[in-house]
Amino acid sequence: MKKHRESIVYRAGNYVVRLLREQLPANRVFHNVHHTINVVQGVVDIGREEKLGAEDMEILMLAAWFHDTGHVYTYAGHEDRSIMLAQEWLRGQAYPEARTAEVVRCIRATTMPQQPTDLLEMVICDADLYHLSFPTYDHYQELLREEWKLLLGIDMTDEEWRNSNDAFLRNHHYWTEFGQERLEGRKLWE
């Protein structure tokens, strides 16, 4: 069994954290290293509950680490840049092409609106929006609100923002069995 610090997932995490810390624009107050770590933890929690094997978990964790790295270069269409960064890094690690294709497929599945087609894609999609089930969701949404204001010029009143978020939460649903049974009920919209 590989030692944890020698694993491809651990090395990917180191690479991504360093990349985001050093190159992510300061206006990414939501899509940053903290969000990425939350998504990785979501993959671990959801994948474990869905009883995924080690190979599937490796693919998902690599996808989670890389899914928002494209924010270093662009906001709109960041998934394509994330895919390019993942492919380049994985190629440099001599990671098998067939498994790289699975990582790419999972990153692509996080594009909004999410439309996952299988369990791996469902897990990464649920993990990407894992924070919707956090008791601290209201604080996360304020970071997203600030990011949209800084990057997109979207400046909503408190009421507009609250209504927009409430509508998003009502219309959103988790894809996995774990998400539907455990996370859905934690979402705070009333």
What whole-number distance in Å separates Cα of residue 53 and Cα of residue 40? 16
Contact at 8 Å (CB) between 155 and 102? no
What whole-number distance in Å separates Cα of residue 175 and Cα of residue 190? 21
Angle between the N-to-C axes of helices 119-128 and 54-66, in degrees from 0 to 180, rounded to the nearest 10? 40
For every one of its 190 residues, what pLDDT tens digit does the chain have, with 9 covering 90 and above?
457 678 999 999 999 999 999 999 999 999 999 999 999 999 999 999 999 999 999 999 999 999 999 999 999 899 999 999 999 999 999 999 999 999 999 999 999 999 999 999 999 999 999 999 998 888 889 999 999 999 999 999 999 999 998 898 889 999 999 999 999 887 765 4
| CATH classification of the domain holding 27 | 1.10.3210.10
Number of domains forming the structure of the chain: 1
Domain that residue 92 falls in: 4-186
Angle between the N-to-C axes of helices 119-128 and 33-49, in degrees from 0 to 180, rounded to the nearest 10? 140
